[in-house]
Amino acid sequence: MGSNYLIKFLEEKEAPTITKKRHTYLTYYGLEQQDTYVLKEGVIKTSIILRDGREFNISYIKGPDIISLLKDEVSQYTSAPFNVRIESETATFYRIPRVLFWEYVNQDSKLQDYVNSYYRNKLAEAIFRQQLMTMNGKNGAVCAFIYQLIPLFGRKVNNGILIDFQVTNDDIAGFCGISTRNSVSRILCELKKEGVIKIVNQKILILDIDYLKQYVQC
């Protein structure tokens, strides 16, 4: 039981959907409070805006996922505005009135279990990512970030694992707490020199997965 049950449940309730195009925002500088959004299909990037105006990326998410629950979780730790940007060609969301969504949850024990486990899992992921960033420095943070892209976008090819998704240096900087894209460029150049990765059609090809893996073993 999990996200598949959630989608089936919302389909049965005939929950309305909206579709957004690539690099548009579902929300910018905050999420509408009156509705709960559930990502049905597509890829999004969640982030917060820091006081100095920089964007700090939280995660890439592939549907299905209850985006509004993540926003609630983030809001417990910061008042910084929460953004959701579409990264796939399109992304489709269920939009349910917030009060109605929680009525559904309260009336269905399986949905309650899903929501409770969602909060636990997201919190554990956030703590783990913070550990990786603080323990490994910039180089290690980038290596760990690339490794963590494998379950989301990795595809086995003849000479390695292709991250079948374009990730910009700016985005890597935002995910890893690095101030400039130039620093990311230098780190990626070093990884290419050492034969760890290769860039193919603006996508990362992982040649040495064990090198990256050492940075996620806390």
Split into its structural domains, the chain has a count of 2
Domain enclosing residue 103, as ranges: 3-107
Domain boundary among 62, 88, 107: 107
**68-91 pLDDT per residue, tens:** 877 776 776 677 788 889 999 999
Residue 201 lies in a domain: yes
Residue 131 lies in a domain: no
* Same domain, residue pair 11 and 85: yes
* Same domain, residue pair 102 and 141: no
27: β partners:
84
* Same domain, residue pair 86 and 160: no
Q: Rounded to two decimals, what is the model's pTM?
A: 0.84
Domain containing residue 24: CATH number: 2.60.120.10
Q: Which helix (H) or strand (E) holds 66?
A: strand 65-66
Q: Which helix (H) or strand (E) holds 61?
A: strand 55-62
Please report, for the chain, how many H helices and E strands are present, in that order. Answer: 8, 12
Name residues of the chain where pLDDT drops below 70: 1-2, 28-32, 73, 76-77, 123, 126-127, 130, 132-134, 218
CA atoms within 13 A on the CB side of 186: 8
Domain boundary among 65, 85, 107: 107
* Same domain, residue pair 21 and 101: yes
